[in-house]
Amino acid sequence: MSDIARVGVVGCGLMGSGIAEVFARAGLDVLVSEATGEALEFGRTRLTNSLETAVKRGKLTEEQRDQALSRLNFTTDLADFADRDLVVEAVAEREDIKIQIFQTLDQVVRRRDAILASNTSSIPIVKLAAATSRPEQVIGLHFFNPAPVQRLVEVIPTLTTSAETTTRVETFAVQVLDKEPIRARDRAGFVVNALLVPYLLSAVRMFESGVATASDIDKGMEAGCAHPMGPLRLCDLIGLDTIASIADSMYAEYKEPLYAAPPLLSRMVDAGLLGRKSGRGFYDYSATA
């Protein structure tokens, strides 16, 4: 059985709050941090609302919701992570911010065999490991949105991650979280995004060149290939800024044109048209906001 009982999540945005919910529903002692009190309250509200929705949909009982909420604690001070067995970083896809967080966690987390993990979808894990004095305990643990629903997690050991750390994380994912782990090499995009992102970028290029409308592109993949969601709606769901960030990381590593962000995608990100979270992307969501 897993020896991980006290966990931390750095970041309480869309992914961080989802990961924290997964941990709380699994019976773990969860501590969540954010940079400011305002961001923390926003994340706490998102988490509470998600649990309420699970109750309304019959996925949780009211008792299970209350138990999950009782396991959640919040902080704006990373020093409070001192007693954690596992800390998962889930902040914005910026390498400089993530490195700074790992440097701080390395200093404050007391347990020497504690695991420091990142939920990054594109930044090399080894760069984060190199910022610590315990690279053998650093690993990628990549959840998918929405984390409480999606069963897959990618486990990404680096060249310096110990076999023991990898085994502990995979055991934890299966036995405690009831997730399905797949192991990936520490390469930009890992498994899922290395396959998915070129497909999404191809759909953006098709729309950009006027081959078809956004709705017809999506309908083609939904009705023609039985995809549950078309590529442009999926871009809007993931976030166009996230797609662009992953594309940039993959292009920087492989230098292959299929990974390069199309000009339209870059312009939309610059304009703040990020998809569902901003109210507009390839589709307009303002009426449902």
- Quick one: tokens of 227? 């995809």
Q: From the candidates 34, 50, 89, 142, which is the catalytic residue?
A: 142
Residue whose token pair is 């006027």: 210
Q: How far apart are CA 234 and CA 240, in angstroms?
A: 9
What pLDDT shows up at residue 201?
A: 98
pTM for the whole thing? 0.91
The number of residues in the chain equals 289
CB 64: neighbour CB atoms within 10 A? 15
Q: How far apart are CA 85 and CA 227, in angstroms?
A: 39
Question: Can you name the CATH fold of 192-278?
Answer: N-(1-d-carboxylethyl)-l-norvaline Dehydrogenase; domain 2 (1.10.1040)
What pLDDT shows up at residue 2?
A: 75
Q: How far apart are CA 234 and CA 232, in angstroms?
A: 5
193 is catalytic: yes
CB contact at 8 A, 35 and 12:
no
Q: Classify domain 6-183 at the CATH class level.
A: alpha beta
Q: How far apart are CA 167 and CA 161, in angstroms?
A: 11
Residue whose token pair is 């498994």: 191
* β pairing state of 29-33 and 6-10: parallel
Residue pLDDT, tens place only, 44-58: 999 999 999 999 999
Where in the chain are the domains? 6-183, 192-278
Degrees to nearest 5, angle at CA 134 with 130 and 137: 100
Q: Give SS3 for 222.
A: helix
Q: From the candidates 121, 122, 245, 278, which is the catalytic residue?
A: 121
What pLDDT shows up at residue 1?
A: 64
What pLDDT shows up at residue 58?
A: 95
Q: From the candidates 119, 154, 249, 278, which is the catalytic residue?
A: 154
CB contact at 8 A, 42 and 124:
no
Positions of the chain with pLDDT under 50: none
Give me the residues paired with residue 118 across strands.
89, 140
154 is catalytic: yes
* β pairing state of 152-157 and 180-183: parallel
| Helices vs strands, H then E, count in the chain | 11, 8
121 is catalytic: yes
